[in-house]
Copies of this chain bind each other. A is one copy, B any other.
Amino acid sequence: MKVGEINTPALLVDSNVFTENISHMSAARPGTSLRPHVKAFKSSYLAKELVAAGHENFCCATIREMEGMAAAGLGKDLLLANQTLNSERLKKLIDGGSARVTVAVDSEETIQAAKIGGVSEVLIDVDVGMPRCGCHPNEAGELAEKARAVGLNVRGVMGYEGHLMHQKDQQKRDMGMARSIKKLETAHAEVGGEVISGGGTGTWESNNLVTELQAGSYVLMDTEYARQDLPFQQGLFLLTTVISVSGRGHAVLDGGLKALAMDSGPPSLVGKGEIMYCADEHTGITGNSWKVGNRVLLRPAHIDPTISKHEVMHLVEKVSETDDSPVIDTWPIDLRGW
C-alpha cells in the first residue's frame, strides 16, 4: 500500500524521526536505564521497536496495557506505574504466567489489592510535587514495611514529577527538580530496594536520580514538548483529505476532534494556512488554495490521547504533504481501552 491509498483520517508515523528519537534516547539511557511508558503510544507493535533498540522493560498506565504487553510476549518486566484495586485482573495476569509484574502502591488498600491479586513485587509510589497519586515521602518507609509484612517484595520507589514536564523556565525547572529529587531520595532512603523509577520526556536530562526513566512521549513527541529545548522531533501526523471547498474561502478536512485530542489545543497545519476549527468529524482550514481531494497533514497537539482514538498507525519513511511512498508497516494500536 502507498500513502495515497490510505483511507483518511489516518495516523502516519515518520520512520526517520521515530528512529532518530529512539537512537538519541538510547544513547543517553541504554537498556534497562530506560523503562519506556507504553501509555504514550498504546501499541505493542511499536513497543517491539523499542525492544529491538535494547529496552525490554516497560511502564504501563492501565491493566489493559499490562495484559496486552504480556499477550504480545513483552512481559519480561512490566511495571504498572499506577494504582489499581482490581485484584481479579491482576490475578488473571499473574496466573497467565507470561509476565513479571510489578505494581505501584501508595496506600494500604492498594497493597491489599496487590496481595490478593497474587502480585509479589511492588514499588512505593511517592508524591514528589504533582497533585496526583503517591504517598507523602515521610510515609513511604512505613508503607514499605506494611507491604513487606504481607509478603510483598518492595523493589524500590517511584515518583513522577509531572508538574515539571512542561516547565520551560530553566531556573524554575532546576529548582523544582531539586525539590522533587530530594523527596524521592528521602523516600528511597526509608524504603530501600534497587529501583528508583520516574521522570519523563521533559526531564529526561535533568532527572539524574532515577535508575530507570519512564519516558514515552519522546518517541513521537507532542507540540507542547516540541516548544521546549529537547533533542526529539515530532513524528506523528494525521493524514486527512479535503472533502469540501467553499466559495467563502475555507476548505474542510475529513478528520476532526474524534481523531485528534483537543486537551492541549487544536492541531497545527503542515504547510501554508490556518486551522479555523475542529468539529467532530471535520477540521475547517483557511489561508491557502485547496482542491477537493487534496491530502492535508495535521500535527496533533497531544499524542497520547490522539493515538488512543485510532485503530492503527502507518509507518512511512518520510512524511510530507506530497509523499506517496510505500507504507513500511501498519501498527495496530492494541493497548487502548481499559
Contacts and interface: CB of A to CB of B under 8 A. Distances in A.
A292 B244 contact: no
B131 A280 contact: no
A106 B257 contact: no
A127 B246 contact: yes
B276 A131 contact: yes
Interface string A231-260: 000000000010111111010101001110
Interface stretch (A47-55, A77-85, A145-153, A176-184): A77-85
A223 to B, nearest CB: 15
Q: Which of A139, A280, A308 has the most CB of B within 10 A?
A: A280
Contacts of A86: 7
A192 interface: no
B281 A243 contact: no
17 contacts: A82-B254, A83-B254, A83-B292, A85-B243, A107-B245, A107-B292, A110-B243, A110-B244, A127-B248, A133-B243, A133-B252, A162-B279, A257-B261, A258-B304, A258-B336, A262-B262, A280-B304
Interface of A: 7-10, 39, 61-62, 82-86, 89, 106-107, 109-110, 127, 131-134, 136, 139, 162, 241, 243-248, 250, 252, 254, 257-259, 261-263, 276-282, 284, 292-293, 304-305, 308-311, 336-338
